[in-house]
Structure 1
Amino acid sequence: MGFDQRFTIGLLAWIAALMAALVACIAAFATPGLGAARIVALATAAAIFAGLWHHITRTNRTVARFVEALKFGDTALQFDAQGGAGFQALGASLNEALDRLRGEQRRIAGELRYLDALVDDMPVAVLTVDATGHVTRANKAARRLFAGEHGGLPEEYAIYSATFARRLANGSQNEEILILNINGRSQRMLVRGATLERLGQRTHAVSVQPIQGALDAVEMAAQTDLVRVLTHEILNSLTPVTSLAATAADLLGDRDLSSDPRVGDARTAVETLARRARGLSHFIEAYRAVAQTPEIKRQRFAARPWADELARIFSAKAPDVPLSVEVAPEALALEADPDLLAQVVINLMQNAAQAMQDAEAPRLVLRLSGGATTVIEVEDNGPGVPESLRQDVFLPFFTTRAAGTGVGLNLARQIVIAHGGAIDVRDAPGGGALFRIVL
């Protein structure tokens, strides 16, 4: 039997008792000489009425407590499951409802913690802009990427890019590639925007995904494929030329033909052709190194001994160029391929030494620093690299020196990109060139 039936039966019983008490009161007052009975009858009627009132209002009070618990989210409240007249069934039902609500709250809280952790660990930086224009770095990637000291206003992000700051302010939802100045280095970023509803207010979410590394890798792969195809095709065409020239030179060396001076001239020309063809073949074979993707054997090693060894190697090759080595912190450790990275740094130092041949007081600095990123810098006081050529110097076969091959800096860039890093060149603070590797 449900709560309503038990409640009705109890209500009828209280009403019947109240009617009986009232009849007793009427009889007591109608009969002379029953003063004490009248008092008892009135008290009994009052007590029964109070019990009836409590019976009627108990449901309202119980339901009111349940609604108030829902209003304030108090799912720890427990109702009395005793008292008869079906109130034990009502209390048990309300307790069960609160238990289910408590379980649902735990499930939702766990889901929210999962989503918060998922967003916080995303490799893509996420910024949110609320209705008042306040900018919040919503995950770890955003806090790492935008690690500068700034508040929550869009215009304060102009230190990275004025266009990016305007985008945060106007809530654009377009997808575009922007160049942001991160850690002193210009990097391409894929920026997306979306408008969301949060707690009844519009929130603008902006995702910032670094794509410079991916673009560099694609560019290097395209250059590698191009060089591989070109060297293959040129060598295929050059091989028969070399062979035929050598054969023709041997034929023209026959003594029976030596009496004709024109044959001698022809033989000299063909020998020159054969010699230049062989030299060109060796030259192209050397360029095939550019088409070989470096295999990185990454390991952890101390920076100071590694840098000191590079300094000794360089000093043996260029004793007239003073070199200073700076490592900060002193206990800095690198995660890289020590041999390939050494090849890059030695190449940069040799290029710097050649650039400072006409300098009155050449000065070369090898600087290694750690922190959020590992930075290796090679700084000289030579003539520097013109801004118009700073992208071209890393292209294969590009060189500004008469005896240069245009392979060294391109190979250095391949090795750095294979490490997941980047390399660029800028003006040194005191004049000259500063090559900067970020790992």
Structure 2
Amino acid sequence: MAFRRRFAVRLAARVLLLLVALSVASLLAAYQRAPTAMLLAIGFALIVTIGLWRLITESNAELTRFVAALDRVDLSQSFTWSGRGAGFDRLGAAYERALARLREERSGGAVAATFASALADGAPTPLLVLGPGDALTLGNKAARRQFGRGSPTNVAALDIYGEAFVDLLRGAGPGPSRLGRIVVDGLIQRVVVDTTLIELGGDVRRIVAVKVIQAELDGAELAAQIDLVRVLTHEIMNSLTPVTSLAATAKHLLDALDATGQPAIGDAQLAVGALARRAGELEHFVETYKGFSEAPTLRREPIDVADWLTRTAALHAATPNATAPVTLDIASGLPSLDGDVALLTQVLLNLLKNASEAVAAADDPRIRLTAEARPQGRIRIAVTDTGPGIAPHLAREVFLPFFTTKPRGSGIGLSFARQIVLLHGGQIEVGAEMPSCIELSLPIAANAAHPR
């Protein structure tokens, strides 16, 4: 405001002086008097006109330069005009303050953008940017680690993670989270996706957050199973203990009687004896499962995979359950596993025992134990046999407590194996393409080299 008032006063003063000079020159010319004074008046009018022209021209030029600097976002311009008068020093100061605010806002915006970029890039959840069309951009480090193989540039290139996952991404949109399946390291896992829409350069893009939740689901399921087993074993033992005690007492009393000539007593002795034995077997079964309800403490250490598998296969070969030789197929240069070697050995022995029982009646009994490095810092271990395999509809049920397909099975082996593998942060599944194969995916040791 102050500048505008000063500029208006100066401009009005110059215009007034110009009018006065022109009026004086006109009067002198009309009366043809004092030609020298007339010439001076005309010269003064020219000087005032030139000053007025310069005032307006300089103001317009500097305003043009200021607007051009804004248009080009050239914040390096300077408008310091101290001592030039006519309020130019105030105008320059105003321009400088405006540019200073723009520099500050731009700097703040750059800092915010850098922070947002670093935040997104460091997020543990993979972010995929979809669009325009079928185009794909891996949005952060987690996405590059999870999906960076082959440097995919479109959604179709992710078919190595399963057609269901590709369809899930193509149908992803804003709204509630969507649940689907993804194939990671040859294992089918649950995944949840959340989608956000953004407009960039006139095109709509989708930012899809991909979270593999199989580990969380497995952990919750295992905890529920453990709680269930704990409750069941407690209640069953409370009911079974007096039955076992009474059956043993009744058997003792009946054994003391003379069954000669009394067939009914003999039949009662057989019945009570069978009841006592069965009650004892049930008590032993429940006691065995009580151990399942108490998760063991892991004693982790680096495990040399080749040495561990070789020793475990030799240990299995020395047991009476070995009905077929075990062929080892171990990739060279495998990194160390991170785990409890005693518990993992027990898991592997259980799987080899099951494989031996499965091939017992096979025409060509063979068992193969393989190990190979997988992406994401894991090792795949598989036990494959030439037996009939597990029916597809039972692929999940075989790992549940109490579930068994064997006539005299206890339903402990595979459920115990799954518990131990999950405690290690791994996975265990029936092979998707080979129902006679059990696959394990286990993490490598923290200081081991990750497979490429």
TM category, shorter: 0.7 to 0.9
Shift of 1:411: 1.0
Distance 2:16 2:35 in 1: 27
Picking from 217, 230, 233, the partner of 1:231 is 233
Picking from 357, 364, 368, the partner of 1:364 is 368
- Percent identical among aligned pairs is 35
Structure 1 stretch displaced more, 94-103 or 212-221: 212-221
Aligned in 2, Cα 1:137/1:228: closer, same or farther, shift over 3 Å?
Answer: same
- Secondary structure of the residue that 1:192 maps to in structure 2? strand
User: How many residues in Structure 1 have an aligned counterpart in Structure 2?
Assistant: 434
Match of 1:10 in 2: 10
Structure 2 counterpart of 1:340, which letter? L
Shift of 1:73: 1.9
- Secondary structure of the residue that 2:225 maps to in structure 1? helix
Match of 1:118 in 2: 119
Matches within 5 A, 1:337-352: 337-352=340-355
Match of 1:336 in 2: 339
Q: Spell out, residue by residue over 1:94-129, the C-alpha distance to the aligned partner (whole angstroms, 9 max, x if none).
A: 111111111111112222222222223333333333
Distance 1:44 1:161 in 2: 90
Contact 1:385/1:426, CA 8 A, preserved across alignment = no
Match of 1:353 in 2: 356
- Secondary structure of the residue that 2:204 maps to in structure 1? strand
Match of 1:63 in 2: 63
Contact 2:136/2:154, CA 8 A, preserved across alignment = yes
Structure 1 stretch displaced more, 389-398 or 305-314: 305-314
Contact 2:426/2:440, CA 8 A, preserved across alignment = no
Match of 2:447 in 1: none
1:396 correspondence with 2:398: no
Distance 1:45 1:88 in 2: 27
Contact 2:430/2:436, CA 8 A, preserved across alignment = no
Q: Spell out, residue by residue over 1:231-283, the C-alpha distance to the aligned partner (whole angstroms, 9 max, x if none).
A: 2222111111111122223333446x666634454344323322332222112
Q: TM-score, normalised by structure 2?
A: 0.81
Match of 1:243 in 2: 245
Distance 1:246 1:232 in 2: 21
Match of 1:216 in 2: 218
Matches within 5 A, 1:117-156: 117-149=118-150, 151-156=152-157
Shift of 1:140: 2.8
Aligned-pair Cα RMSD in Å: 3.6
Shift of 1:370: 4.6
Match of 2:79 in 1: 79
Distance 2:90 2:122 in 1: 48
Contact 1:28/1:41, CA 8 A, preserved across alignment = no
Q: TM-score, normalised by structure 1?
A: 0.83
Structure 1 stretch displaced more, 77-86 or 399-408: 399-408
Structure 2 counterpart of 1:49, which letter? T
Contact 1:348/1:378, CA 8 A, preserved across alignment = no
Shift of 1:132: 4.0
Structure 1 counterpart of 2:64, which letter? A
Aligned in 2, Cα 1:183/1:324: closer, same or farther, shift over 3 Å?
Answer: closer
Distance 1:339 1:62 in 2: 83
Distance 1:378 1:123 in 2: 29
Matches within 5 A, 1:426-437: 426=431, 432-437=436-441
Q: Spell out, residue by residue over 1:129-181, the C-alpha distance to the aligned partner (whole angstroms, 9 max, x if none).
A: 33444332323333333334364444444443445444544564454322222
Shift of 1:354: 3.5
Match of 1:385 in 2: 390
- Unaligned residue ranges in structure 1 (runs of 5+): none
Distance 1:166 1:270 in 2: 62
